[in-house]
Each structure stands twice: as structure tokens, then as C-alpha cells.
Chain A
Amino acid sequence: MGLLFNQASQIEGDVASLLDNISNAIMIFDAAIKNYLNNENDIFIKRMEDVNILETAVDELRRGIRHQLYSKMLLPESRGDMLSLLETIDNVIDTTEEVLVQFDIQRPKIPKELNKDFIELVDASCKAADFTVLAARCYINNSDLINDHINKTFFYEHEADKVENRIKRKLFGSDDFVTDLAGKAHLSKFVELIAKLSDDGQDVCERLSVATIKRSI
């Protein structure tokens, strides 16, 4: 019986570390995009590398937890929901890494006039992702606050969508910021990439809503 409780403690610790890493990655992502907009390239690169390290750590933790859950036959009733949560929340950190790598490779030229809009988009997306991590913690720790966090995630995802559309309208509505269509399409792609972070959060929260209902006695 003691072994059973030790296994539970270990998995609890691993899940907490995994969520901590994702939370850290979201904060670093937020800062890195702002560094990029301010042309602070060295700091941007350093932050991108940090996110990469965190993403690798999360992948290892996720694989370890999955192995433990199956090999020790833990959580037979909610194992599917738990693994689904871990797989989908992994998309959040994958997106942070992917966006930063694409910024580094493609180096999109963002007009200074749009910096404020981009910052607003990053903030809304990061808030949605942050509340997603909080909702996931509430699910694991069986807290009533889960619905509150899920609602906030949905709210910020919607906000991110609004900012995304606003930037696209500015881009395609006139030639004041970018003149060529290729440049407009290029920036539009990055707007979508940043907004994808909030979409990933929404996806996790939709699964969490169902899992929470299923978990009643």
C-alpha cells in the first residue's frame, strides 16, 4: 500500500513539474516576442533556447507520466482524460516553441505602428494559455475554481481572435503599414501563429469541461 502512495506522490510531482514548465514557457514566450519587437535579438535568441529546453523537459515528463499510468495501471477510470489533457496541453508549449523558431527563421518585418497591436495579441494569447494551465492544475487538484479558469480562457481566446482580426484588417485594408501582398500574407501568418496559442488553450479547456463532469461520484 505504501508503494501505491509513493507512486502517487511521484506522479503528482511530475505533473506539477510539467505544468510549471509550461507556465514558465508561456511567460518566456511573452517576453521573447516583446524582445523581438524591440529588436533585442540576443535576448530573444536566449529566450527561444530556454523555451526549447523547457519543451524537451515537458516531453520527457509527459512520456514518463504516460508510462507510469499504464505500467502501474493507475487511474483506470480517468486515465484516458488525464492522458488526453497531457497530450493537448503539450500543444501549448509546442506552439510557443514553434512560433519563436519561426520568428527566428523568417524574421518577419513588423511595422512599428503595429507593435502595440502585436503586444495586445501576445498578451491575450498568453493570458488564455496561463488560465489553461491554472484550469489543468484545478482539474488535477480537484478544485472548484476550474470553471472560473476555463471561462477566463474562453474569454481571452475570444479577445485574441478580435485582435487577430483587427490586425489583419489593418494589414489588408490599406497599404499604410505594408505595401506588398506577400508582406501582408507573411505578417498575417505570424498573427495566426501567435493566436494559435489561445486556440490550443481553448482546446484543452473544452476537454477539461467534459472530464470534470465525468469525474463526479
Chain B
Amino acid sequence: MSDRVHQQIHARAREESLLNARVCVRTPKTNAIPPEVPPELREEIERHMALYPDTRSAALPALAAAQRLHGWCSPEAIEQVATVMGLTPAYLAAVASFYDMLETESIGRHDVYVCTNISCSLRGADRLYEAVRDAAGDDPDFNVRPFECLGACDIAPMASVDGVYVGPLTPDDVPRLLDDIRTGRPVLADKQLATRLVADPNANSQAFPAHPIEESAP
């Protein structure tokens, strides 16, 4: 109850001009009209909200859903989430900017995260990243990023393609990798983590290059 009252108090504070025009100039209000929310997005966010004792817990899944729809957490996407969740866009923008997987700038449709953390780097990840980055070039379909440890050092060096882990990779794999993405085939089907056995020690055997970590230009 008191929360709602406070929200009302707050809403009124914004509507009414507290500050007498005679003594103070206020900055013009922007975007007072709540944005239209696509019904399927609203529905998905509300489904997440219903799962938690405190609906705010749905912020990450909600932002992820908005990102799937809009391609990134654009101001528009954030305002839509804010409208459904009853939070301020500022709050959600702050949350979004905290997490690596929530994009606050427009990006390509396909995420290619190349792990460049220590274990992968020890096995040539920096060179791999450069190869992917160069091969993808300025193709707007790709979001190629060097990424922190993705938790698959057993297949180092590796990459996550829209969530599918593939490795160990060499620069030679890169053309096929991008081609698979472009054509919609399963990405490097023979190199997917999902096919790998844990208890087969030989499955882990691989040759790897003898070279130090190479720092890639940021």
C-alpha cells in the first residue's frame, strides 16, 4: 500500500509543477508518454515477473528478451521494459550496462564470442580472435567480440557462436565457421563441445602451437 502511495506521490510530483514559475525554471520534460510495448514482449516479461517473489528479479531475463527482439538494449527497448516492469529506464540502463552480454550499442545479429582469457590465450586465442575479426570484416551480421573466460578451457582455444561452444579452433577453421553461420548450418558440427566425452582422456589430446600469448590490438 505505502509503496503504491509513494509511487502516486511521485507521479504527482512529476506532473504538477512543484516549482513556482516565478522563482524557478525547470528543464522541459522529455518522453512523458509511455512507449508502445509489442504484445509478445510484454507477455514474455510478465511471465518472468510472475516467477519471482519480487518482480524486479526479472530485470535480466526481461532485458535479454528485449535484446532478442530489438537486437540490442536500445533506449527504446529499455523504455519498453521499464514500462512493463514499473521501473525507471535509468535503472534498467544502469543494469544493462553492467553486463557484458547486454549490448548498449547496436550490434550484429550473430554473437561470436572468442575467448581470449588465459587458458585459451596460452593456446593461440589471440591469433584466433584476430582471424575471426578480420574474416568477419565489417559484415553487419556479426558481433565478433574478444570475451573473458567462457568456461570451456578444455577445448581451448574456443568460441561461442550464439551460445554454441566450438573448439579447439585454429585460424584455419575460421572460413568454415563464418560460412556455417551465414548458411544457417550447425556451426562446426565436429567441433561442438556437446559432442565431447569427459572421461575419454584421448578426447582431450590435441596438438597446440608453441608460441607465447600474443596481445591483440584492442
A and B together in one complex: no
Residue positions of A touching B, CB distance < 8 A: none
